[in-house]
Amino acid sequence: MEIPYTVAVRPDTGLNNVKLGIWLFLASEVMLFGGLFSTYVLLRMGAVEWPLGAEFLNIPIGTVNTAILIASSVTMVMAYASLKLGDFAKYKTYMLATVLLPVLFLCIKGYEYYEKVQHDHLPSHSTFLAIYWTMTALHGIHIIGGIAVNGYFWGPGSKMWHTKPAMFENRVEAAGLYWHFVDLVWIFLFPVLYLL
């Protein structure tokens, strides 16, 4: 007996297995980052003094990074749309962009971290820096994961398009949902850490 509803939608739940699975995973991720945002609020409320983001962080660089990540979200959804239109070549182009843009993001972030280390602005310096380093690093790890997954679906995994296109579309959609979530987290992280 085959496992049903791996691609087809089950009528009474309105979902296929992968889509439900990825949304459940994202729900748990909301709670993970929620725990960290809650930590931020608690530490800031209880702090004697709390620095402005601009004191330690470079707002223009952060803005550029935000734009990069949003762009990668757009290219991701365009990659998926290309698949739905049957345009594999366009899919490959957009997906490559979706892989390379966050690599650029990480390089810029790496530069930001390097600068901090040079000025001795380590996590141990203050609770602000501690939560900054921790949240951006955890987000960064999620970006690395996304690059790996998207890279797989751009590269070796894309062979599935020729044998099982519907399932491949499904998988790319799931990867897209994850990637949009990573972008979503940064949409909140950027103003909270850099601008407030």
Quote the tokens at residue 60.
Answer: 């223009």
Cα(82)–Cα(52) distance, integer angstroms = 43
Looking at the chain, how many residues does it have?
A: 196
Bridge partner residues of 15 (DSSP): 10
Q: Which residues contact 35 (CB under 8 A, 6 or more apart)?
A: none
Compute the least distance from the CB of residue 8 to other proteins, in Å.
Answer: 10
Place of tokens 């892989």: 99
CB of residue 89 to other proteins, shortest distance in Å: 14
Residue placing its CB nearer to other proteins in the complex, 37 or 152:
37
Nearest approach in angstroms of CB 151 to other proteins is: 20
Closest CB to other proteins among 38 and 111? 38
Tell the smallest beta-carbon distance from residue 30 to other proteins (Å): 5
> Tokens at residue 19, please?
């889509």
Shorter beta-carbon distance to other proteins: residue 112 or 183: 183
Task: Identify which of residues 35 and 156 has a Cβ nearer to other proteins in the complex.
Answer: 35
Under 8 Å between Cβ of 147 and 68: no
